[in-house]
Amino acid sequence: MRRYLVAGNWKLNLGPAAGANLAAALQARLAGRALKGDVLVCPPYVTIPAVAAFAQGAPLLVGAQDCSDQDQGAYTGQVSAAMLKEAGCTHVIVAHSERRQYQRETDALFVAKIDRVHAAGLTAIFCYGELLAERRAGRAEDVVEAQLRGVLPRLAHADRGNLVLAYEPVWAIGTGETATPEIAQQMHRTSRAIVADLLGAETARQLRILYGGSCKAANAAELFALPDVDGGLIGGASLKVDDFAGIIDAAERVK
């Protein structure tokens, strides 16, 4: 019922030349295949145009890792959602844990950014997830609930077509440690119940919830086979064509 989404978050890796190489290799792997789901890569801003040349609609899409909460004006260093759309993007990641941590971004800013993403006609991928200390203290579900309640009800234009969630336990990001299938399914099921409460049962049923955190070809199939996991947000393993293609193949097998 829900198409899977396998999304690569390149983070601060791959300039225009290297990004174009990876996009071309991916496109060659995917060309002519009728995939059951969607494949997205999110390069650094300056790499987006080079990647967009290879990612024009299915099967490969291009997105951004962040955007401004403003449309235009005197905001040095910022890039608007409308500009990203013009550059070929279909999706924008918002609220990644690295931005929560290093840029100290807050719920109010996430709401403003997602509203700009939606106003530009793009899909937002909203990231959330607990820290290791919060999980150890038995507070993982409370933290996730607060993160979802702090943003979703305040969005002006959210619907099941323009929003994707990405549950990313912070202790699993870039650590090589992956959530067990039990933890992933429990957190995704809890997330979907919270979405049902906030945005309605039908939206919750159709909304895609991705798993992120050391997802790789070797563990993707068991994660994607879980009933409430609709794909993945992939960091490290999205930077090499064999690794990323292996994750897409896993989704094709189990979804």
What is the contact surface with ligand PGA in residues (CB under 6 A)? 9, 168, 173-174, 212-215, 233-237
Catalytic annotation, pick one of 91, 96, 118, 188 = 96
Nearer Cβ to ligand PGA (12/74): 12
Catalytic annotation, pick one of 118, 130, 168, 188 = 168
Give the residue closest to ligand PGA by C-beta: 235
Nearer Cβ to ligand PGA (62/198): 62
- 64 phi and psi, to 5 degrees? -115, 160
Whole-angstrom Cα Rg for the chain? 17
Nearer Cβ to ligand PGA (231/235): 235
- Closest approach of Cβ 78 to ligand PGA, in Å? 22
- Closest approach of Cβ 202 to ligand PGA, in Å? 28
- Closest approach of Cβ 174 to ligand PGA, in Å? 4
One DSSP character per residue, 48-90 reads: HHHHHTT-SSTTEEEEES---SSSSSS-TT---HHHHHHTT--
* Both structure tokens of 43: 């390069």
Instruction: Provide the 3-class DSSP secondary structure of residue 120.
Output: coil
Nearest by Cα to 47 from 217, 238, 245: 238
Q: Is 91 a catalytic residue?
A: no
Q: Is 188 a catalytic residue?
A: no
Angle at 221 between CA 240 and CA 196, to 5 degrees: 110
- 251 phi and psi, to 5 degrees? -60, -40
- Closest approach of Cβ 166 to ligand PGA, in Å? 7
CA gap 74, 1 in Å, rounded: 44
Nearer Cβ to ligand PGA (38/199): 38
CA gap 8, 1 in Å, rounded: 22
Nearer Cβ to ligand PGA (19/203): 19
* Both structure tokens of 210: 């991705």
Catalytic machinery residues:
96, 168
